[in-house]
Amino acid sequence: MYPRKQPDLASDFEEYVRIRHAALLRSAQRLVADPLDAQDLLQTALARTYLHWHRIADKRLADAYLRRVMINTRTEWWRARKLQELPTEQLPDTSIEDPTQQLSDRQLLRDLMKALTPQQRSVLVLRHWEQLTTEETAAALGMAAGTVKSTLHRALARLRQELQRSYL
């Protein structure tokens, strides 16, 4: 018998890339926001994987190996960008937000909400602060979804009126 010929690693890798390129690119695009960065990430990962292609005994696991290389590469890039400093001649103007305005807005909103009925307040808090759906709010308060919608509409209209009145 003739000895079994070892497949050419380069052509084996090229075949793998040709078949799996689209799926691997989609994985890279999920890891980074910019499409060009995704292509760079995939190419870097492919170059690194090619160097170790002979070590992957079970080629069915090549996707997992390559995705791990992409994740590690992306992490390296993130760390490198994080440590970069950009020298400038002048320091940028930085603004510090004044929390007093935010606190006064909250206090104003609390005062305005006193004009609402308890039911309107409950609906408003569950829908907007807790971000529950209409159905979840209805179930929590034991009312119909239509009642939640109309109550919320009336509550917001009342808040607008009270807000206009407070600025006059």
Distances (CA, A) of 14 to 10, 49, 55: 6, 12, 16
Q: 163 and 123 share a domain?
A: yes
pLDDT of the chain along its 168 residues, tens only? 444 445 577 888 999 999 999 999 999 998 888 899 999 999 999 999 999 998 888 888 899 999 999 999 998 888 877 666 677 788 777 777 777 877 788 888 888 888 999 899 999 988 988 888 999 899 889 999 999 999 999 999 999 998 888 876
Contact in structure between 151 and 120 (CB atoms under 8 Å): yes
Q: Is 90 domain-assigned?
A: no
Query: Is the model's pTM score more than 0.95?
Result: no
CATH of the domain at 106: 1.10.10.10
Other CB atoms within 10 Å distance of the CB of residue 115: 14
Q: 76 and 113 share a domain?
A: no
Counting the structural domains of the chain, the total is: 2
